[in-house]
Chains A and B, each alone.
Chain A
């Protein structure tokens, strides 16, 4: 997993609430057995005018010029700014894979769906919950600022606006540690192998039918 320390990333505003994982990566792309290469199909139904299928050459498909990700000024964005309950619906981890593969490193919203939120951390994406008013302020600031970038520092847990305003954010200490060090969850857990074995022996002795 890629380490996350700090970025100064261009922000793209996706002004919608309840963006579900079907919208982030439509189900036909779930048929892949790989975990990379989903970026060109992130938000496929909103991004292209035709119907996308796996295996298509996405570079030749008609793009929807209205969709915010397609606008020239947002090319190369690393920060997705959006509204409530982002990532709701299906637990497909292809959603964070697609967002990460697209190039996003940070998603800012007032709230996230649980599974999606957890899945982000496991894939080097940092989801940041800010209160509704702050998110609103960011949308407003973005709207009036060309090339609006946010400096996001995970170690310091701060977001800095171009004009210098600093917002702190909260992040779970364990998740932060893993993200900062690019640590693999499994390796971390296996450090506790003896404890797991001891628990298992006790647990199964008490419930031998398991």
Chain B
């Protein structure tokens, strides 16, 4: 057989049937469910008198609407409460496993799934959430779907799909001090743009990627959707297996050995051909900071806010509008931009490694006086617990950060954690769109190290120099 890409292998092993025009029915191994995009799907099932095809493939968790403080008081916003209660009721009605708000395993769906071993190599994973691409870090085919598709997968265990083109993003070499997977992700988006990956499934390869931890790989795959690609993936290897071993949903004993033996094939074969390849030199990547209202509006921390006048016609107008919204002047050095708030968390950077990296920067320091609020929101209850066992919570609290309960929080501000109009935030999340973190709020996307350093300094600083 000719050489195959990882994407070819994952695709081919899940095709139930394919029409002449390429439209295929793809079998889905795992569907993750959260409260925002599922109620209408459950409603649809009920209306059509259908049942989920395979209950065991579903795993649910509320995350977008949950409060990150004083959980004992429940959810005060009535609309948020109804969504979470609706999820609880739907899961109870259909017999679906759910980690409820009070459960230690509750967390952001894309943190929770891998942490439970519910995402395994070779799987197809879907969720009504665009950052489902995160799970591709395990050598899985994972992507976000719409609510109609959530219902479709529940009812049929299949997704109607067409194969994407394939893009290899090869990163070679050693990352500099203070440079992280987040910076690789932002640098790639800066390079190819927010539509550069549209129509592609991206596989990250190269020595730098192989050297990343699972947390870093998840951060990288998480952000491919910001480059327009629905799926990102990384070959499964010993790092993957070590992370998964012993997790509740992972196979155990002899079954584990059998699984690992089969997972070892989950990589692109030597000589496999991609439709497009992009090469990056890890040593050239610096800590990244977004300056605008799209993740592609990004520069290195040692750079300046770009001048729209120097841009091509196609980019100029958008950049001008972004600078007005962000209240930034062209040519301002990034390190001179002062911030009002800091958000460390989300499915991009809410894992234990992210907590450790931010804490290492914050240790023994104090949040700057001009920073009104610095939130640390662990990605799951288990991340929170582990961080507390390592004493990270104390480091944050002593430095003046707020240590919260897990959820999406200020990543999209559906709960009470949000920016007020005009406030500027250093955020480890993945989207800097207008109003994303609160109407009129201004978001700068950065790594956890960069966010913590900005909290301490009150403005952006180059963590590669500290």
B178 at the A/B interface (Cβ < 8 Å)? Answer: no
Decide yes or no: A33 and B129 within 8 Å by CB, A23-B434, A203-B27 being known contacts.
Answer: no
B36 touches A30 (CB 8 A): yes
Of A65-73, A136-144, A186-194, which binds chain B? A186-194
B194 touches A18 (CB 8 A): yes
Of B78-86, B274-282, B343-351, B364-372, which binds chain A? B78-86
A22 touches B144 (CB 8 A): no
A196 touches B27 (CB 8 A): yes
A90 touches B435 (CB 8 A): no
A33 touches B251 (CB 8 A): no
B122 touches A122 (CB 8 A): no
CA–CA, A35 and B258, complex, Å: 44
CA–CA, A1 and B362, complex, Å: 54
Residue on A with the closest CB to B252?
Answer: A209
B27 touches A199 (CB 8 A): yes
- Chain A 91-121, CB-CB to B under 8 Å as 1, else 0, gives 1110010000000000000010111001100
Of B155-163, B374-382, B454-462, which binds chain A? B155-163
B36 touches A185 (CB 8 A): no
CA–CA, A196 and B157, complex, Å: 8
A196 touches B433 (CB 8 A): no
A22 neighbours in B (Cβ, 8 Å)? 431, 433-436
Least distance between B201 CB and chain A CB atoms (Å): 11
- Chain A 51-85, CB-CB to B under 8 Å as 1, else 0, gives 10011000000000000000000000000000011
A190 touches B156 (CB 8 A): yes
- Chain B 73-97, CB-CB to A under 8 Å as 1, else 0, gives 0000001101100100000000000
A153 neighbours in B (Cβ, 8 Å)? none
Centre residue among A22, A27, A35 by max chain B CB count within 10 A: A27
Q: Chain A contact residues (Cβ within 8 angstroms of B): what range?
A: 35 or more
Decide yes or no: A45 and B157 within 8 Å by CB, A31-B80, A91-B146, A115-B144 being known contacts.
Answer: no
A161 at the A/B interface (Cβ < 8 Å)? Answer: no
Of B3-11, B13-21, B183-191, B394-402, which binds chain A? B13-21
Decide yes or no: A174 and B146 within 8 Å by CB, A22-B435, A35-B40 being known contacts.
Answer: no
A205 at the A/B interface (Cβ < 8 Å)? Answer: no
| Tally of chain B residues near chain A (CB < 8 A) | 72
CA–CA, A51 and B421, complex, Å: 11
B31-72 residues at the A interface, CB under 8 angstroms? 36-37, 39-40, 43-44, 48, 50, 53-54, 64-65
CA–CA, A85 and B199, complex, Å: 12
A31 touches B146 (CB 8 A): no
Interface SS majority for chain B: loop
CA–CA, A59 and B353, complex, Å: 49
Least distance between A45 CB and chain B CB atoms (Å): 6
A172 at the A/B interface (Cβ < 8 Å)? Answer: yes
State which of B156, B160, B413, B431 has its C-beta within 8 Å of the C-beta of A196: B156
A199 neighbours in B (Cβ, 8 Å)? 16, 27
CA–CA, A91 and B144, complex, Å: 7
A195 touches B230 (CB 8 A): no
A156 at the A/B interface (Cβ < 8 Å)? Answer: no
Least distance between A112 CB and chain B CB atoms (Å): 9
B123 at the A/B interface (Cβ < 8 Å)? Answer: yes
A41 neighbours in B (Cβ, 8 Å)? none
Residue on A with the closest CB to B155?
Answer: A186
B318 at the A/B interface (Cβ < 8 Å)? Answer: yes
CA–CA, A111 and B195, complex, Å: 9
- Selected A-B contacts with CB under 8 Å, 29 pairs: A17-B314, A17-B318, A22-B434, A22-B435, A22-B436, A27-B413, A31-B65, A31-B80, A33-B39, A33-B82, A35-B40, A51-B439, A115-B130, A118-B146, A119-B148, A122-B146, A172-B162, A173-B21, A174-B19, A174-B23, A184-B48, A185-B148, A185-B160, A190-B156, A196-B156, A200-B27, A208-B258, A209-B255, A210-B123
